[in-house]
């Protein structure tokens, strides 16, 4: 499940939306089933973009923990988590329309009532629609690694966007990132660790160890990564990578309490 969203660089000259967009809108074809569920369900469970604060309790019709997922892909993980945790409400953001259609189909098949979808740039949704301290958690699973050196500025996990996300977390709320790209895992650990309002859920590596890992471009044996939380299911994509010997790194940081 690889998905990208906009990298937050508000006010950057030459960018119409005030930030570099790290996603590319793919023109993939929707299946007939995806189109059917998209047309039938999105008007009911979709949350249109608006340049105004969103009342999440009103959107879901109840008071419950609110979890944001950025980049739902084809929706498999998002739907499985929502199904397993009916006590939480989930707001999934996905720019790829066939993915939205696939998630609509899963929502209908599973009868999920605790999941809503936004089909818009996550940076703009978080910046313009989500009030400060409104979220209990944020999931960012396998974002596009933009592995070429000249493209790394397009990666989602950048200091400015992490600061924005952190401001939307309640004290004690968490941000959970996962990636199967070692270099990106190191960048995530570095960026999240530098955010003063976040604390790692596990022991941070020493500055010297992190600097050496960044220089060597290797996370082998480096502290700071979390065990995979039980709520994040293994996807087919991830299982295939694990069978091939690819690593997967989870990072869980929490907003500091005052």
Q: For 176, phi and psi rounded to 5 degrees?
A: -120, 115
Q: What's the pLDDT score for residue 10?
A: 35
**Cβ-based neighbours of 29, under 8 Å, separated by 6 or more:** 98
Q: What's the pLDDT score for residue 77?
A: 95
Task: Note the Cα 185 to chain centre separation in Å.
Answer: 14
Rounded-to-integer distance, Cα 96 and Cα 77, Å: 16
Known catalytic membership, residue 128: no
SS3 208: helix
Q: What's the pLDDT score for residue 236?
A: 77
Q: Is the pLDDT of residue 17 over 90?
A: no
**Cβ-based neighbours of 171, under 8 Å, separated by 6 or more:** 133, 255, 256, 257, 258
Q: What's the pLDDT score for residue 153?
A: 84
Tokens standing for residue 157: 């996990």
Q: Is the pLDDT of residue 31 over 50?
A: yes
pTM of the full structure = 0.89
State pLDDT tens for residues 127-155: 999 999 999 999 999 998 866 666 578 89
Q: What's the pLDDT score for residue 145?
A: 85
Annotated catalytic residue: which of 55, 144, 180, 250?
A: 144
Say which CATH class 32-255 falls into.
Answer: alpha beta
State pLDDT tens for residues 157-182: 999 999 999 999 999 999 999 999 99
Q: Where are the domains of the chain?
A: 32-255
Cα torsion 76, 79, 83, 87: sign: positive
Q: What mean pLDDT is reported for the chain? A: 89
CA distances from 153 to 20, 119, 206 (A): 8, 23, 25
Question: How many Cα atoms within 13 Å fall on the side-chain side of residue 57?
Answer: 5
Mean pLDDT for the stretch of residues 206-232: 96
Percent of the chain beyond pLDDT 90?
Answer: 78
Closest Cα partner for 8 from 169, 179, 191?
191
| DSSP states of 155-188 | -S--HHHHHHHHHHEEEEEEEEEEES-HHHHHHH
């Amino acid at each position: 499940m690889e998905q990208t969203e906009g990298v937050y660089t508000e006010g950057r000259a030459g960018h119409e939306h005030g930030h570099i967009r790290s996603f590319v809108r793919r023109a993939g074809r929707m299946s007939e089933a995806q189109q059917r569920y998209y047309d039938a369900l999105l008007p009911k469970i979709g949350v249109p973009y608006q340049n105004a604060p969103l009342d999440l309790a009103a959107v879901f019709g109840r008071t419950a923990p609110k979890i944001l997922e950025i980049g739902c892909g084809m929706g498999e993980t998002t739907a499985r988590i929502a199904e397993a945790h009916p006590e939480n409400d989930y707001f999934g953001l996905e720019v790829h329309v066939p993915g939205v259609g696939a998630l609509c189909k899963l929502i209908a098949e599973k009868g999920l009532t605790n999941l809503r979808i936004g089909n818009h740039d996550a940076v703009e949704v978080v910046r313009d629609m989500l009030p400060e301290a409104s979220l209990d958690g944020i999931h960012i699973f396998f974002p596009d690694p933009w592995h070429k050196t000249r493209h790394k500025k397009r990666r989602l996990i950048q200091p400015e966007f992490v600061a924005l996300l952190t401001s939307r977390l309640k004290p004690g709320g968490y941000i959970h990132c996962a990636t199967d790209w070692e270099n990106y895992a190191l960048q995530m650990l570095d960026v999240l660790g530098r955010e003063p309002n976040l604390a790692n859920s596990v022991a941070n590596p020493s500055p010297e160890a992190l600097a050496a890992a960044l220089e060597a471009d290797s996370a082998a044996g480096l502290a700071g990564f979390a065990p995979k939380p039980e709520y994040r299911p293994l996807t087919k994509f991830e299982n295939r990578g694990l069978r091939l010997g690819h690593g997967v790194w989870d990072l869980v940081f929490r907003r500091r309490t005052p």
